Structure 1
Amino acid sequence: MLATTTFAASNSNPPNPAHKNSSQYPPFSSNSRAAHIVSITRRGLLASISIALTPFLTSPQPQIKNPTHYADFISLPDSEARGLFQMPPPRLTNRYFLVRAGESEYESLGIINTNPVAKTSVDNGLSEKGKKQTVRAALDLKSMGACEGNCWIWPSITQRAYQAAEIIAAVNGVNRSNIVPEYSFLDARGLGAYEGKKLDSISEVYASDSLSPNIKPPPIDDGTPNESVQDVFVRVTQLMSILETQYSEDTVVIVSPDSDNLSVLQAGLLGLELRRHTDLAFRPGEVRFVDASSIPTYKQPASAVYKCLNPPNCN
């Protein structure tokens, strides 16, 4: 510890340097003021320096012109914060158009094909009928003014969905750089053991969906996932979270290879219970603007005992 001594004025004579016995410091006299011993530690020294330099190192804080508005902003509920997306959302920052791609080659043959391994296969591309359906969808989007402003097209990387996105972009004058391929969240719903069966057998899956969104199709060992409605709901919710975080006041055209992605997504956005997603089924090449007025008339589910208290999250 360092110590410094300070003295006040004194009436005593100054020390005589000629005398060897003279003290280094002036002697205390009876009428001299009391000496003050001030202790200085390293911590105190650093604190003093920081206090002295603070006004020069800190930038002035911006003034809040409307403190009431600012307080309202920072006190928003977590569910309304950007990036924390919940279904149904309290609001949407973008406009959304949902498009199902036209008929695929597999669908033209009446065969179910949902294995993601084959999603980029040419056989998963648009059939001749599917191309015509997609052109009509692109013209519908143009007549609706979907891409008159800033427009982004988000297709599944599945062959028919990406082909549909390219047709939509060409008809609506959208730059190809605005086509953003989605690699997993928009995959066609995996139907498990129904893979390779006739397309009409999908009605059995929908019969199970109407009972509970957690019922999965029977599994299979060829790599095809067996997804419940709830599984699809998780995927499309993650997709919407990305879109609502990445864009603001833009138009987003979502292009799906199948109907279930879009019907489950729309049910979630509108607050319908997920068992009713088949009421919102999309035809190949159908375009739909996300609008609350499009909620269909309620239909009593097959199970009259089952009640959904928190749509769309129902077990």
Structure 2
Amino acid sequence: MLVTTFASKTTLPPQIPSPSPLPEPKNLHNPLQPFTRRDLLTSLSLTLLPFFTSPQINNHDNFDPFSVQVSQARGLFQMPPFRLSNRYFLVRAGESEYESLGIINTNPVAKTSVDSGLSKEGKKQTAKAALALKAMGACEANCWIWPSITQRAYQAAEIIAAVNGISRSHIVPEYSFLDARGLGAYEGKNLDSISEVYASDSLSPNIKPPPIDDGTPNESVSDVFVRVTQLMSILETQYSEDTVIIVSPDSDNLTILQAGLVGLDLRRHRDLSFGPGEVRFVDTSSIPTYKQPASAVYKCVNPPNCS
């Protein structure tokens, strides 16, 4: 049998260069010690760096990921803010069961407990707040309600949503940034003793209440300021030209936030105290005009000779 073999011209695909070999695992201090995870990640980053920095990747579809100006990055929130992208209403939840008994309760462990919910009077105060928001047209063009997950604040959010005809899907519970200010060793004491905390606040925003070992945080004004600034950073990044109703279980979150927005000395945050069920609209005209730092406006017109 005659077998004929035909040789056809075959075009091989272009060879893809193999990645650079990983550096040899070694520990310079002790060659016998195993290769650590840190060493492995370092080796991988060195190997993949040329891929992620190649012009083909960076210039894909003519998009330069580094072309966005820092000043346009909306996630960089500062107090007072350069601008606000949304409308904001600040609401303190109505009186809680503990407040009706004259007891300080700020331990986050119990924040979802039924005992931390609204008192009978607190429900009435919150209903008035919901009607006030309706009269102010807060949710006429839709709105988002951001309550603390604390029982009384979330109950208040549900009442606000019901009165203003807002779907429960527009209630966004906040799990930590809006916790009631932790008052440490004042936990369980009479509400009147909170005046001692505010006396310390007026001296410095960095003074913390005395600590306690039951899990209650002891937060200074500066600690709360960090939390509410982080909250605003999230809201300003997540929404644009929307209305957001912030519902706090206590006054301090709101007074410190408002002080930051208007540029008030944080030691005077108590001057902005919220009563149970109180509602305030954040008026952008009260926010001071942003001034660029000198380093941002300085120009050298004749380098290297600058005056």
TM-score normalised by the chain length of structure 1? 0.69
2:159 pairs with 1:149: no
Query: 3-state SS of the aligned residue for 2:211?
Result: coil
Matches of 1:190 and 1:169, distance apart in 2: 28
| Counterpart-to-counterpart distance in 2, 1:276 and 1:293 | 20
Distance in 2 between residues matched to 1:288 and 1:252, nearest whole Å: 12
Question: Equivalents in 2 of 1:95, 1:203: separation in Å?
Answer: 32
Once superposed, what is the RMSD of the aligned Cα atoms?
2.2
- Cα separation, partners in 2 of 1:61 and 1:227, compared to 1, 3 Å: closer
1:86 matched residue in structure 2: 78
Aligned to 1:253, the other structure's residue is in SS state: strand
Distance 1:61 1:148, change over 3 A: same
Distance (whole Å) between structure 2 residues aligned to residue 122 and residue 282 of structure 1 = 23
What secondary structure is seen at the aligned counterpart in 1 of 2:257? helix
Q: Partner amino acid for 2:116?
A: N
Q: Secondary structure at the match of 2:160?
A: helix
The answer as to 2:250 corresponding to 1:277 is no
> Could you tell me which residue of structure 1 aligns to residue 166 of structure 2?
174
CA gap of 1:59–1:165, structure 2 versus 1, over 3 A, is: closer
**CA shift at 1:270, angstroms?**
1.1
Q: Distance in 2 between matches of 1:82 and 1:291?
A: 20
Matches within 5 A, 1:52-67: none
Match of 1:203, as an amino acid? Answer: S
Shift of 1:80: 4.7
1:291 paired residue among 283, 288, 293: 283
Indicate which of 197, 201, 206 corresponds to 2:193.
201
Structure-2 residue corresponding to 1:238:
230
Amino acid at match of 2:265: E
Distance 1:123 1:81, change over 3 A: same
Partner of 1:134: 126
Structure 2: which 5+ residue stretches go unaligned?
A: 1-13, 15-58, 288-292, 294-307
Moved over 4 A (4+): 58-62, 292-295
- Cα offset, 1:100, TM superposition: 0.1
Q: CA deviation at 1:138?
A: 0.2
| CA distance in 2: counterparts of 1:293 and 1:263, whole angstroms | 18
**In structure 1, what is the Cα distance between the partners aligned to 2:261 and 2:242?**
17
**Percent pairwise identity:** 84
TM-fit CA distance, 1:221:
0.5
Unaligned 5+ segments in structure 1 are 1-41, 43-57, 63-73, 296-309, 311-315
Displacement of 1:257 in angstroms is 0.1
The corresponding residue for 1:50 is none
Q: Is the 8 A contact 1:79 1:85 kept in 2?
A: no
Q: Deviations over 1:83-135 (max 9, x none)?
A: 11111111000000000000000000000000000101111100010000000
Question: In the alignment, what sits opposite 1:250?
Answer: 242
Relative to the length of structure 2, the TM-score reads: 0.71
How many residues are aligned here?
229
Q: Say if 1:100 and 1:287, in contact at 8 Å, map to a contact too.
A: yes
Amino acid at match of 2:182: G
The equivalent position to 2:112 in structure 1, one of 115, 120, 136, is: 120
Question: 1:160 matched to which residue of 2?
Answer: 152
In structure 1, the residue matched to 2:290 is: none
Q: Does 1:190 align with 2:179?
A: no
- Secondary structure of 2:203's counterpart equals coil
Deviation per residue, 1:251-302 (Å, 9 max, x gap): 000000000000000111111111111011100000000115568xxxxxxx
| 1:288 partner amino acid | R
Equivalent position amino acid for 2:243 in 1 = T
Kindly indicate whether residue 205 of structure 2 is the aligned counterpart of residue 213 of structure 1. yes
Amino acid at match of 2:144: W
Deviations 1:31-68 (A, max 9, x none): xxxxxxxxxxx9xxxxxxxxxxxxxxx99869xxxxxx
- Name the SS of the counterpart of 2:89 in structure 1: strand
Q: Which amino acid aligns with 2:246?
A: I
Secondary structure of 2:280's aligned partner: strand
**In structure 2, do the counterparts of structure 1 residues 218 and 94 end up closer, same or farther at CA, with 3 Å as the change threshold?**
same
Check 1:60–1:198 CA distance in 2 against 1; reply closer, same or farther (3 A cut). closer
Secondary structure of the 1:222 match is coil
Match of 2:34?
A: none
Q: 1:81: how far off?
A: 2.1
